[in-house]
Amino acid sequence: MRSFEWKTVSQWLGYLLKAVTLMIFIFPFLWMISTSLQTFRETMSFPPTWIPATPQWGNFAEAMNAGPFLTYFRNSAVVTGSIIILQFMIMIPAAYSFAKYKFHGKTVLFGLILLAFMIPGQVTFIPVYLMMADWGLVKTLLPQIIPFISNAFGIFLLRQYFMQIPEEIIEAARLDNANEFKIMWRIMIPMSKPALATIGLFSFVSHWNDYFWPLVMTDSAAVRPLTLGIAMLRETEGISNWHIIMAGNVILVVPILLVYLFCSKHIVKAFVYSGIK
């Protein structure tokens, strides 16, 4: 009986811990959404207003009209989409080579990729900026794209996934006169969709939310992404207009939530089948 009671108590404690952890993570999002629908007076009230009396949907339109938001949104979409496409074009052949080929210097080259994965962007931004300035690219979107077209983490994760695909499948395809491109396109990519979706989501979130690199690499509104546009709301709307600022943050977060909902099932499969925890 005592063991049964202790098991029941431990289960309830586990549920409570999960609920507390969930609230810690979800509270800022709920507060952001609530504030984005409030009036200025409600954002300044004490005690704080949790549920607005009348949702102010016009806050989103006001946030978008505070600056060239369509330009910011387009820049973020172009930069993020270009990075993901170029990363896949480089990452898939590289991961396939490291997983299924034997060649001289393979260990050294893979070690360099892991080393690149460990070096933060804050270490390299000065020489990269000087190089982009010398090339005359600072006033374009390219400085936000070129340094990230190679994804070291993606090559590592995809290589681990490719290594789990049986060699017999590839050999059977070669016996059917399939070239290496066809093997990657018809076999490796379809069997690695969970890993590709995971890498794509991580890359999307990282570059869609990136603030530091665009701040350094841009000097005009024509090439700034949405993250800098949201940050500039504090200057255009004033630091007290939190309802407008939070409305802009909601606009920034919505694409991430949509992409996550689309990729969530693939992410679970990737971590289950690849053995990565």
Q: Determine the pLDDT at residue 35.
A: 86
Highest mean pLDDT among 23-37, 77-91, 181-195: 77-91
Q: Determine the pLDDT at residue 266.
A: 65
Show contacts of 55-61: CB within 8 Å, 24+ apart.
Answer: 56/243, 59/243, 59/244, 59/246, 59/247, 60/36, 60/247, 60/250, 60/251
> 224-236: per-residue pLDDT in tens?
999 988 888 776 5
Token pair of 228, please? Answer: 């800098």
Q: Is the pLDDT of residue 124 over 90?
A: no
Question: What's the CA gap between 237 and 232, in Å, rounded?
Answer: 8
Q: Is the pLDDT of residue 241 over 60?
A: yes
CA distances (Å), origin 177, targets 97, 111, 173, 186, 252: 19, 33, 7, 13, 48
Beta-carbon contacts of residue 210 (< 8 Å; ≥ 6 apart): 144, 225, 227
Backbone angles phi, psi at 225, to 5 degrees: -85, 180
> Are 54 and 116 a contacting pair, CB within 8 Å?
no
Percent of the chain with pLDDT over 70: 90
> 71-119: per-residue pLDDT in tens?
999 999 999 999 999 999 999 999 999 988 888 888 888 888 888 778 8
How large is the average pLDDT for residues 250-262?
85
How large is the average pLDDT for residues 49-58?
81
Q: Determine the pLDDT at residue 272.
A: 58
Q: Determine the pLDDT at residue 5.
A: 61
Q: Is the pLDDT of residue 192 over 90?
A: no
Q: Determine the pLDDT at residue 261.
A: 81
Q: Determine the pLDDT at residue 194.
A: 83
Q: How many residues does the chain have?
A: 277
Q: Is the pLDDT of residue 174 over 90?
A: no
Backbone angles phi, psi at 142, to 5 degrees: -60, -35
Token pair of 218, please? Answer: 């841009």
Instruction: State if pTM tops 0.85.
Output: no
Strand segments, DSSP code E, in 65-180 are none
> Are 144 and 79 a contacting pair, CB within 8 Å?
yes
Q: How does the average pLDDT of the chain come out, rounded?
A: 83
Q: Determine the pLDDT at residue 235.
A: 61
Question: In this structure, which amino acid lies at residue 235?
Answer: E
Q: Is the pLDDT of residue 271 over 80?
A: no
Percent of the chain with pLDDT over 90: 13
